[in-house]
Amino acid sequence: MNDSLVNSRHSNSRLAFFHIDTPLLLGLLALVGYGLLVLYSASGQSERMVEAQIIRLGVAFAVMIGMAQISPLTIRRWSLPLFIVGTLLLVAVLLFGHIGKGAQRWLDLGFMKFQPSEIMKLAVPMAIAWFISSHNLPPKKRHLTIGFLMCMIPTLLIAKQPDLGTSILIAGAGIFVLFLAGMSWKLIGLIAALISAFAPVLWLFGMHDYQRRRVLTFINPESDPLGSGYHIIQSKIAIGSGGVDGKGWMQGTQSQLEFLPERHTDFIFSVLSEEFGLIGVLILLAIYLFIIGRGLLIASRAQDNYAKLVAGSFTLTFFVYVFVNIGMVSGLLPVVGVPLPLVSYGGTSMVTMMAAFGIIMSVSTHKRSMAKT
């Protein structure tokens, strides 16, 4: 009954033919539109940057639509091969990778530079979902252990590059699959305890100096106001000085006079907060909440476990992006270099993210055909 209701609504939609989920698309378009508005201001009224971003968004939306056409069954078949290839590429990055900004993330293929960790953002949850869903739910301890290992291997490889932001996102994506699959609360508690026990070890042996500095800065940014604390102090000044209704579009002094660093990339949320105030922030959060809610709804309504797990994990990973980015620019979390999804200027992760939304749409619109199998 439930299914028929959803299906009938989709069959009525013209977009359904292209396997597009209309509410999700509208949510994404609203987000992208709002984001471009902020970007124009944050880039210092650079039309060139806005154009580049529009082109990038166009490509990303094309990828999304493309992915939406592929049936979840096909996607499921790709899961393991993609995971294996991605893992091998990560090893290759560590061995031959290109060093940029002190971290090894890029693989130079000659004609283009390529970041294998982006593939893993999709491949890790897909592969774990494939593995878990091929057994009954809730998963048994044995399966959980394997799923957990599948998650940790690429996470550690990426953390080694080092790319703390991405490794957290990938670890999160994998663990979300296990969580959604029904991992027992007792085990969740155990893992949480293990992580907190592991944190000091990570601090001492697993982190680079610059990462440690970021954490220290996070704890007390005023200790080094001109050095590592500068970013977060200026960001909080931008946000706080925005007040309830903001300084007005293109009127933010922190951003327009360039006191705010990375204003059009990682710190674009601060620009939005400064210029549009608390009201602007609430609008943004409402759009994000709508997209996340829609994603989780699609996951719940999906017919097979693989589709549920993949769609749910992608949605929650999207949420992690939002939370980590806003948390870091507003001083709730250390600065780890995670962009504000679909708003921050720039690129690689945007395409990956839209591919994930394409898969979610595929899950949303291929139900009938799946039900038949």
Partner 1 sequence: MLRKRIAMQDVEAEARLFSQRALVAMLLVMLAFGVIIINMYHLQVESYQVYQTRSEGNRIKVVPLAPNRGLITDRNGILLAENRPVFSLELVPEQVEDMTATLAELASLISISEEQQQSFLKEVRQQRRFNSIALKEQLNDEEVAIIAVNQHRFPGVTVEARLSRHYPFGNLFTHALGYIGRINTNDLKRLEDNDQLANYAATRDIGKIGLERYYETELHGTMGYQEVEVNNRGRLIRVLRSVPAQSGKNIQLNLDVGLQLTAQQILLEKRGAIVAMDPRDGAVLAFYSNPSYDPNLFVHGISSSNYNELLNSPDRPLINRVTQGIYPPASTIKPHLALLGLETNTITPSTRIWDPGFFQLPGVEHRYRDWKRWGHGWVDVYSAIVESCDTFFYDMGVKLGIDRISDYMQKLGFGEKSGIDILEESNTNMPSRGWKRARHNQPWYHGDTVAVSIGQGYWTSSPMQLLTTTAVLLNDGLRPTPHMAKTLTNDAGSEQVSTALQPTVNVVNTRNWQVIRDAMLQTVNTPKGTAFNAFRNASYTSGGKTGTAQLVSIAQDAKYDANALDERLRDNAMYVGYAPAENPSIIIAVTVENIGGGGSTAAPIARQMLDYYFSAGVNNDE
Given the rule CB under 8 A, which residues bind partner 1?
Answer: 136-138, 176, 179-182, 234, 236-244, 253-254, 257-259, 273, 277-278, 281-282, 285, 288-289, 292-293, 296, 299-300, 305, 308-309, 312, 316, 319, 323, 326-327, 330-332
- Residue 89 or 169: which CB sits closer to partner 1? 169
* 277 touches 244 (CB < 8 A): yes
Backbone torsions φ then ψ of 128, nearest 5 degrees? -70, -40
Shortest reach from residue 8's CB to partner 1, in Å: 20
For residues 63 and 284, which CB has a smaller minimum distance to partner 1 in the complex?
284
* Shorter beta-carbon distance to partner 1: residue 114 or 323: 323
Q: Which residues fall within 8 angstroms of residue 34, CB to CB, at 6 or more apart? A: 283, 284, 287, 343
Residue 80 tokens read as 């393991």
Q: Tokens representing 248?
A: 């007005």
Q: Whole-number minimum distance, CB 348 to partner 1, in Å?
A: 25
Answer for the pair 339, 265: CB distance below 8 angstroms, yes or no: yes
Taking residue 64's Cβ as centre, other Cβ atoms within 10 Å add up to 24
Say which DSSP state 108 is in: E
Q: How far apart, in Å, are the Cα atoms of 276 and each of 252, 324, 331?
A: 9, 21, 19
If the CB atoms of residues 106 and 276 are measured against partner 1, the closer one turns out to be 276
CB of 263 to partner 1, least distance (A): 10
Work out how close the CB of 241 gets to partner 1 at its nearest, in angstroms, rounded to a whole number: 4
DSSP, res 345? S
- Smallest distance, Å, CB 273 to partner 1? 7
Q: Closest by alpha carbon to 157, among 193, 112, 123, 199? A: 123
Q: What is the 3-state secondary structure (H, E, C) of 17-75?
A: HHCCCHHHHHHHHHHHHHHHHHHHHHCCCCHHHHHHHHHHHHHHHHHHHHHHHCCHHHH
> Which CB atom, from 43 or from 211, has the smaller least distance to partner 1?
43
Residue closer to partner 1 (CB basis): 326 or 343: 326
Do residues 265 and 300 touch, judged by C-beta distance below 8 A? no
Cβ-based nearer residue to partner 1, 281 or 356 = 281
Minimal distance, residue 114 CB to partner 1, in Å: 32
CB of 141 to partner 1, least distance (A): 16
Let me know the angle formed at the C-alpha of 167 by 148 and 104, rounded to the nearest 5 degrees: 130
